[in-house]
Amino acid sequence: MSSTPSSTNSPARYTIATRESRLALWQAEHMRDLLGQRLGWQVELLGMTTRGDQILDRALSKVGGKGLFVKELENALEDGRAQIAVHSLKDVPMVLPEGFVLACVLEREDPRDAWVSPHYAKLTDLPQGAKVGTSSLRRVVQLMALRPDLRIEPLRGNLDTRLRKLDEGQYDAIVLAAAGLKRLGLSERIRAFIEPTDMLPAAGQGALGIEIRADQTDLLAALASLTDRPTWLAVHAERAVSRALGGSCSMPLAAYAHWQGDTLQLDALLGHPTDPSQALIRAGVSGQPANAEAAEAMGSAVAEVLRSQGGDTLLAALEPVA
């Protein structure tokens, strides 16, 4: 790994490595503008195509998981082509490679899932056997719990591609993250928000995470000032649930923490990885974490409850990633 410039000879301009989808570019541009406004930095973008963007005919859980969306960006950080990578936090593996660190997390956008359909206003309006698109195992098991009669079909591609497939009539409805639709000015496509009481979000959903090299201590200190503390603690709790359970993309896991005054409520659920008709296991805990370590302890505690309620049996059914 190349060395980090000292504070006296740091580059006048910083570079953000980003995927080239419209949503990823929005996120990178948002971070660029924030760095300019808050820190006075000059920032340019380095657009890249990741393996996750290229492999669209197979589920992520079958071909390497969420790391497919970040590896090329990390390579750019490692060789110095960029100093910062901006990610949708729900796409970031629960354990970062050695030498990389999550520098900050910005204030969370809407964490909910969104119901998108040209003909049906909500899930309960769908006729029996209707076709719903999603490639998220988390969404699959929760949809099946609500409507076991539905046909849940894979849906890959960037946000615009998914919407196009819906508009072409390939699906009766699709489920997407509300945050992405809102960020791209597509809120009108949302027919209904799916509340967390009906569909628990993914760990980190709606939050933007900033990754850098761990040896860039000056950069880490500067970026830390941008962190939204309530979001930082919430997502640390959520991600700790997944990490404690193995952090596999093949795991139908949801984890969502939200603040009720000064108390953080963390809820999680786990489904069967290959048989979505099996009952979901749920667990929750509340606390007042003072730091990330305390928030992560909450996540570990919830993971232990999930394991004790039969989660180990579900985890044993995980298929190995190719």
Question: Among 91, 110, 172, 267, which one carries the catalytic annotation?
Answer: 91
Q: Please, which residues have CB within 8 angstroms of residue 302's CB and are 6 or more apart in sequence?
A: 241, 255, 266, 267, 268, 283, 284, 285
Task: Determine contact, residues 307/245, Cβ cutoff 8 Å.
Answer: yes
The structure tokens listed for 279 are 């009952």
Q: Residue 39: helix, strand or coil by DSSP?
A: helix
Whole-number Å distance between alpha carbons of 265 and 10: 41
**H helices present in 260-311, as ranges:** 292-306
Whole-number Å distance between alpha carbons of 302 and 97: 25
For residue 322, CA distances in Å to 62, 65, 140, 194 come to 6, 10, 21, 32
275 is catalytic: no
**H helices present in 115-250, as ranges:** 137-146, 159-167, 178-183, 217-224, 229-244
For residue 128, CA distances in Å to 27, 78, 139, 151, 276 come to 38, 51, 18, 9, 17
Q: Please, which residues have CB within 8 angstroms of residue 152's CB and are 6 or more apart in sequence?
A: 132, 133, 134, 140, 143, 144, 276
Catalytic residue annotation: 91
